[in-house]
Every structure is written in structure tokens, then in C-alpha cells.
Amino acid sequence: MAMVLFRRYALAALIGAMACAAAWAREGVDVGERSVFVGAVSAESVEQQAQVQYRQTLKAAADQQALGPSDNAQVRRLRAIAKKIIPFTEEWNLRAKQWQWEVNLIGSNQINAFCMPGGKIVFYTGILKTLQLSDDEVAIVMGHEIAHALREHAREQMGKSTATAVGARIGGALLSGWLGIDPRITDSVARAGANLLTLQFGREDETEADLVGMELAARAGFDPRAGISLWQKMGAANKNAPPQWLSTHPSDSNRIAVMEANLPKVMPLYERALR
């Protein structure tokens, strides 16, 4: 009898614990933990490198008279949208609270935007003009780029490169000792510097940024369904893009499908933000 009662109490406790966990479950998308490779490189060093490259990018644009002034209507628009999104970034990365956020616009036909580690955001006029983005769509793009920084995808790529470089050093020493190959050749990987503007993110990183960006936009009061119209426009603008299996990026149709599947998780956040 005692054993039966014990089992009943244990089952009740388990059910209670599960209910409590469900009650405290996080609202929004689920993208898992960050990659273990981020630990191979310090966040400070990545952000410092990003700061240098960001300043170089702005200077080059200014030298070509392509940097949007603060009183430019599109610059003001971008900064207003960022101001709404930024308060929701800390949940994804505590370092975001101390980032010195910046938003700038560069005159270029590129259909592109980026957010470097440390919160340095740039949009190109090409993405705004060519796609005729609504504020909701701009928020989706901005959220996506911010998500790359929050999830430290650049740091992850640099961590992977560091791991490869360590392997190259070890392999180089072995090859030099055993096969007579010049270690300077095999060690060149370790000396190669990372250009944060040209890092290529994989499909998983892109999908993760899509989902986190969609949630950030929703929490800030922007319609997450704009992610669908955004990628429909992007697909039309990239008719000659390679199919998914030839690219590191998910295909437009797959991105849309993943976003649609996650809309039920973020629409309540958007609706709540509008109240």
C-alpha cells in the first residue's frame, strides 16, 4: 500500500513539474543553443575587429559621397525601426545591452544589408529601392541581420577557422617532419585574417537568423507575415539564383515554408505589441 501511495505521489509530482515547466516555457521561436565554436574566439576580439572594418566601410562610402546624412529621410526611417527592435535583443545575447548600436545607409545598387558584431548596421539603398520595402519588411531584414550578430554567427565561423588553423599547424609540423613539406605552406591558414563583410553563413545560420529576426520584428510591433512578402520579392529579384543544393543559402520557397510554419509562434507576440 505504501509503495502504491509513493508511486501516486511521485507521478503527481512529475505531472506538476511538467506543468510548471510548460508554464514557464519561452514564447517565440526555438533555435537551440549557440554553436560550441563561438568559444574558440573571444567576443571582444570579434567586436573590435568589426568596429575597425565598419569604420573603414563608412569612410570608403563617405569618400565616394555615398554615405547617407543623418537628416536623410531613409536614414531616419531605418534608425526609427532599429530603435523599436533593439530593446528586444538582450534576451538573445546579454552583450547586446552594452553594444554601441549604429545604423547607416550607403548609396549603392546592392540588394544587401548587414549587422556586424557589436551592433553595427548598414543598409544599401538598392535593397530599399529595388524591393520597395514596407516598414514591416525593413524590420524583417533588419531583424535577420541583427540575429546574425546576436547569435554570433561570425564568431562561430572564426572559431571554426581557428580550429582548422590549429589542425593545420599540427598537420604542418607532422608533414614537415615526416615528409619534408615546408610548414610555412600548411601554416598559412592560421595567418589568414577574417573579413567580416565577406563571411559566408551556412543554411542553418540563415534559417536561424530568419526565425530570430521574425520574432524580433514581431515583438517590436512589426508584422512578421512581412517575411513572406519579403522573400517573394527577393525571389523575383533573384530569378537567376542557383537552386538550394548549389548554394549555402536556403531557397526562397524553403525560407517561406519555414517562416509560415513558425508564424503561430510569433503572431501572438505581434498582436500583443499592438495593444
Q: How deeply is 210 buried, as exposed, middle or buried, from its count of CB atoms within 10 A (0-12, 13-18, 19+)? A: buried
Using the 3D structure, point to which of 191, 218, 250 is the last residue of a domain: 191
Tens-place pLDDT, residues 163-218: 555 444 444 444 344 444 444 433 333 334 456 665 667 788 889 999 999 999 99
Query: Do 136 and 207 fall within a single domain?
Result: yes
* 145 part of the active site: yes
Tens-place pLDDT, residues 116-129: 999 999 999 999 99
The whole-angstrom separation of Cα 82 and Cα 91 is: 16
Residue range(s) defining the domain that contains residue 183: 156-191
| Distance from the Cα of residue 72 to its chain's centroid | 27
Using the 3D structure, point to which of 142, 173, 191 is the last residue of a domain: 191
Going by the DSSP 8-state scheme, the letter that residue 67 receives in this structure is B
Tens-place pLDDT, residues 8-28: 544 544 544 444 444 346 788
Query: Do 55 and 102 fall within a single domain?
Result: yes
- Please identify which of the residues 47, 145, 206, 208 carries the catalytic annotation: 145
Query: Do 249 and 165 fall within a single domain?
Result: no
- Residue 152 has a pLDDT of 85
